[in-house]
Amino acid sequence: MLSETMTNAINDQIKWELYSGYMYLSMSAYFSDLGLNGFAHWMRLQGQEELEHAMKFYDFVLERGGKITLQAVDAPPNAWQSPLDAFEETLKHEQLVTSRINDLVNMAIDERDHATNIFLQWFVTEQVEEEASVGEAVDKLKLVGEGGEGLFMIDKEMGMRTMSAAEAA
């Protein structure tokens, strides 16, 4: 069974995962408004992935006999200065999520909650991938600058993203 402290912390993380999904959906709309449908597609899939993360936490709490307490989710921003600005915010956000996951791992270790620690290792690995993926997009956007041709090439590449079987599960 989960401790009350761990249950509360995971419930808070569910809120953060839902916020992440909401933020990426907002970014998807922003990119659609710019006519950058590849970026919009990438962010929409990213949002779906974050909602799946929230459900992984949700199901884990229930499996471990904890109580789900859903919290209010703040409204995300809906405009950015540029595609680069949006992805830099995404990277900063993913770094925050990584910090939060690490805090949960530390809590699980402190509480000697081995099951939760093992469960969280998937998220530790996932965050390494998230930061790398977003960091690569930031690097490419910095490389091309505000130029249209390079931006459209990256947009086309982003539109090719698919959900892996693991992401869809």
pLDDT in tens, 7-54: 999 999 999 999 999 999 999 999 999 999 999 999 999 999 999 999
The pLDDT tens digits of the residues spanning 70-122 come to 999 999 999 999 999 999 999 999 999 999 999 999 999 999 999 999 999 99
How far apart, in whole angstroms, are the C-alpha atoms of residue 42 and residue 48? 10
Q: Based on the number of CB atoms within 10 Å of its own CB, is 17 exposed (0-12), middle (13-18) or buried (19 or more)? A: buried
Angle at 86 between CA 80 and CA 88, to 5 degrees: 130
Structure tokens at 124: 């530790």
Q: Are 141 and 87 in contact (CB under 8 A)?
A: yes
- Helix, strand or coil for residue 84? helix
The pTM of the full predicted model, rounded to 2 decimals, is 0.93
- What is 4-168's CATH topology? Ferritin (1.20.1260)
Angle, helices 4-33 vs 83-110, to 10°: value is: 170
What's the alpha-carbon Rg for the chain, to the nearest Å?
Answer: 17
Torsion of CA 1, 95, 43, 35, to 10 degrees: 160
